[in-house]
Structure 1
Amino acid sequence: MKANKRTVWFLTLLSLVAVISIYYLKKEAPMELDGMAIFGEPDKLTVTKQGDSDSAKQTVYADSMKFEEMRMEVQNERSNLKDQLTTKILSADSTAEEKNAAYDEIDELIKRDSAETLMEMQIRNLGYPEAFVRKDSGKVTITVISDDGGHSSKMAAEITQFVMTSWEDARTVQVVFME
């Protein structure tokens, strides 16, 4: 019984310390979005902070929503394909060779998905705020939002060179800039 009381007291004190430390961390470093007001159209938003003058307004584009839609479309396609392949694997009519081929194809889809996600993160680390990568049989299509609003052949060459050195089976690379 004493061990249970000690455990309860220890957990109570530990949770109290955690709550107090979170409170002080939030107090010292408030969130950046505190007191923001957002007005405007869904694709083009105007962001102002409380106390700012009208000249300090900043325009924000919601292009990342378009990228999320593209990711969802690809995810739905691949999910449907995985379901078909899983049905083929579980079918009693399929031979062992067909089941192995279906399993290998599922494995390839998973590898391609993780490689695309990793490449998106690496392109973001190059300094681009958002990127969408899609790879189909050696052809890599990259859609990017650039910080400065424009795009150049130098930026496209930088991304293409990075992809070609990172992916050994990438034969062609197409870079598309979102405006």
Structure 2
Amino acid sequence: MRVRRRTVWFMTLLSLVAVISVYYLVDPAKQFNGLTIFSDDTLQETSIMGVTDQDGAKQSVTQEVSSPSHLFEELRMQVSDERSQRREQLTQKIGSEEFTAEEKSEAYNEIDSLIKQESVEATLEMLVKSLGYPDAFVRAEGAKVTVTVMAEEQSTAKADEIVYLVKTEMEGTKDVKVEFKANSY
């Protein structure tokens, strides 16, 4: 019996996905935040060499350049904390002996929906940023989506463009609210 290369490749890939999934279910403390990969305006550190102190000795000074959208970062951290607490509760429920298999299955499905929701929100944030906005914060709760955008000017045409983008990316979205925040450079 001859095994095809594609079959071997597929089985290898499938086993890798299974191992990674089990790893993340067993160790939920290490969470991956996909937004940090694509974020240019997060907290950056710049080191300036050659600054002399009172004694004439050279020293290194570290400056923090904060994001112009610190409010958005705080909102993201708050949502991330809430979701990680919920995910931790659900993971404990899955590992507990006192719940039925059906309740554990529901908890697992809720964890899966949380992960999907985070992914959709991150994708929408990147898409809104690609429209030319410095930063955006998306919060989806069921069929209701709130998009907060950092922009100099507010217009209904831009808001309609964002609403259209959200409705095309998230099927079943009935209520999309767009808020504009002034740029705080």
TM-score (norm 1): 0.64
Question: What RMSD in Å do the two structures reach over aligned CA positions?
Answer: 2.0
Computing the radius of gyration from Cα coordinates, the structure with the larger value is 1
Q: Does 1:98 align with 2:82?
A: no
1:1-179 to 2 correspondence within 5 Å? 62-146=67-151, 149-179=152-182
Q: CA deviation at 1:63?
A: 3.9
Residue type of the partner of 1:117?
A
Runs of 5+ in structure 1 lacking a partner?
Answer: 1-32, 36-60
Quote the Cα distance in structure 2 between the aligned partners of 1:95 and 1:62.
Answer: 46
Residue type of the partner of 2:160?
A
TM-score (norm 2): 0.62
Deviations 1:133-158 (A, max 9, x none): 00001100000011xx1101111111
- Count the aligned residue pairs: 121
Runs of 5+ in structure 2 lacking a partner?
Answer: 1-45, 49-65
Residue type of the partner of 2:156?
S
Quote the Cα distance in structure 2 between the aligned partners of 1:162 and 1:151.
Answer: 17
Residue type of the partner of 1:105?
E
Q: CA deviation at 1:34?
A: 10
Q: CA deviation at 1:115?
A: 0.8
Quote the Cα distance in structure 2 between the aligned partners of 1:159 and 1:34.
Answer: 38
More helix by share: 1
Q: CA deviation at 1:166?
A: 1.4
Q: CA deviation at 1:101?
A: 0.1
Quote the Cα distance in structure 2 between the aligned partners of 1:77 and 1:168.
Answer: 25
